[in-house]
Every structure is written in structure tokens, then in C-alpha cells.
Homo-oligomer: A and B are copies of this chain.
Amino acid sequence: MTAAAFPYPFAAKPGKACAPGEFPFAVIGMDHGHIFSQAAGLIEAGGDLVAAWDPDPTKLADFCTRFPQARAARSEAEVLEDPRVRAVTAAAIPDERCALGIRVMEHGKDYLTDKAPMVSLEQVAQARAAVARTRRMYQVIYGERLQNEASIFAEQIIAQGAIGRVLHVVGLGPHRLSAAMRPLWFFDRRRSGGIICDLGSHQVDQFLAYAGAKTATVVASRIANYHHPEHPGLEDFGDAMLTADNGATDYFRVDWFTPDGLGTWGDTRTTILGTDGYIEMRKSIDIARDPRGDQVYLVDRRGEHHVQVGDRVGAPFFGRFIRDCIDRTETAMTQEHALTVAEVCIRTQMQAVRVA
């Protein structure tokens, strides 16, 4: 089916959200490669990347080569104390993300972190208190929804009633392990937060967003290290059932078992069941069919529909985040959603039964 034949039109791709010079931002913390797309997303939406810092000089130099507009700072304090900088985006080690965020906010700047934004309920409480105290934002780039065009388009057509009331979401989030490429902290559950806190954060974010729910309770969850005894701190499998405050139900599975033969890092899928139809997203690949992701399948009363939406939808999150920083609004994502997702993830992780 061509895009023209798909029963829902595309919204215009987002343009610049602000004038040049209106939104200077900085980067602190490059422990996960997600930082590159975070910086690129803000730049594309109109932000000016003015400074960057990481204690690892190799990472910092590499980053400034890829983003030559960023000046390499000499310390974290130099960035935090730079009065031009309105916001900091970061991909620190997960257990350090909260403390960094609070330092950023206490310097009067908004914070946009890679997921998972925190790894313990204590950190959730600290972040909530810092938000209240500083009146700055602690925002999170849940990339599998906010940076995937299939996910963004799905959210748009659900809002137009494409599948009626959302009843159930099932998310499969397999990822390739590539153990040799991972830093040591990746294999330390206290630092990574565990597989549900890490990979599951995308899933909880999507569930609450698609279902239009405020929060969810954990019905059951499991973790396992099925096949990696050489990494005892790794959980290579996790799953959970959640029930939202509005009655919608969810299941997700996350794992590190993507086989080498897959053409990308993981075959992430989301299927959303509504009263009047369902949507399946093949977000990163359409196996044995199309190496491109961003595939949206919709089955409704009228028929079966398919469209590949790559480069048609954009990522409105970044421009909205910039406007929220400037206008003190909550259009990109509410502060409460960002923190509730973290809290639900951590509870799901904590309640998980270990499978042998």
C-alpha cells in the first residue's frame, strides 16, 4: 500500500522550534552512544550546542569531532556555571543520571537524560523533590517511542480514533548483546538498573502513552540470566504484565538474544489492540521483507493497511522540549509521565521473580 492509500494522512514534519541563538544547550555524560542522537535531535529542532563535557578525554574528543560546534569544557562545573546554557542533555551511567540531573537543575537548567533516568525509588523521590524545589524539568528521551517514526505515527492515528479505545499493548524489545563492546557497568546490575529498568523503560513509556493512562500497577514480572553465566550481573531476559489506572492492560518482554543473522540490532515490535482494530509496528526492521524499520500495519473495520513512514513523520519531541524549556509548558511530555514511567519500571524490576 502506498502512503497515499493509507487511510490516515501524515502531519507535516516539524520545523525549527526556535530562532538561532534562542536555545543554547550543552552535553554532559557520554557513557551511552545514545548521546549522539540526543544532541542531533536538539540541533535539528533549532538548538545550539555550545559546550560538551565528559571526564573521559577520548569520549569528549570524539564527540567534539562529530559536533565541531561544541566547545570541549575543562570540567563539569564550567558547563553548569555557563550562564548561556539553558539545558543539558546527558547519557551518563544510569546510576549517576539522577545526581547529575539534580546538579543540572540546581544550576537553573533543564535536564534531558537518556533512559533509564534513574535506578532506585530513592532516586525517584530525589528527582521529584528537585523538580519541586528548582522548578526545572527532569525530562527523559524514551527513544523507542520518541525517536521512532512508526511509534510517533501510531500515536497520531490512535489520537484520530484509528483503533477505538486502546485495550492492550504488547511490546517485544529484543536487543543484540554485543558483549565485547559493552562497558563494565553494563554488567553490574546496581549500575545499569537491571534489564526491566533499562530496556523495559521504553515499554512502560509506550504503554502509558498509547493507553492514555497516568500510571500502572505491576501484575507480575520476571527476570532471568538464561544463557550468560560468564556475566553473572547480566539479566538477559525480563518480562512483565501491567494494568493501567484506566483499565488498559500490557505485556512486554525484553531480552539480549538478537541473533547475528538479523539485519539490525533488534526486531522491536509493538502491537496495540483497540476496540475497533489493531496496529502492529515493526519498528526497526520488517524481517525477511524490508531492511527498513518504521513500518506501521493497521487492521481496522475497512481492511488491512501498511505504510513505511521513515523520514515522513520526524521526531516532534525535540522541538516541543525546546519550547517547553523556553515557555515553561509541558507539551513534549508531562513531568509526571517522565517520572511515573521511571517509578513503574523500578517497581516492576524490584518485584520481578528470578527464573532459573
A interface residues (Cβ-Cβ under 8 A, vs B)? 1, 165, 167-168, 170, 172, 174, 219-220, 222, 224, 226-227, 237, 239, 241, 243, 247, 249, 251, 253, 255, 257, 259-263, 267, 271, 273-278, 280, 287-289, 297, 299-306, 353, 355-356
The answer on a CB contact under 8 Å between A289 and B289 is yes
The CA of A195 and the CA of B308, in the complex, are separated in Å by 35
Q: What residues of chain B lie closer than 8 Å to A288, measured between beta carbons?
A: 1, 297, 299, 304-306
Minimum Cβ distance to chain B for residue A135 (Å): 37
Q: What residues of chain B lie closer than 8 Å to A251, measured between beta carbons?
A: 170, 239, 241, 251, 253
A276 with B255, Cβ < 8 A, contacts A226-B247, A288-B304, A304-B287 known? no
The CA of A304 and the CA of B264, in the complex, are separated in Å by 11
The CA of A300 and the CA of B251, in the complex, are separated in Å by 25
The CA of A269 and the CA of B174, in the complex, are separated in Å by 17
Minimum Cβ distance to chain B for residue A79 (Å): 43
Out of B219, B289, B306, name the residue touching A306 (CB < 8 Å): B289
The answer on a CB contact under 8 Å between B168 and A170 is no
The CA of A22 and the CA of B222, in the complex, are separated in Å by 50
The CA of A237 and the CA of B166, in the complex, are separated in Å by 13
Minimum Cβ distance to chain B for residue A310 (Å): 17
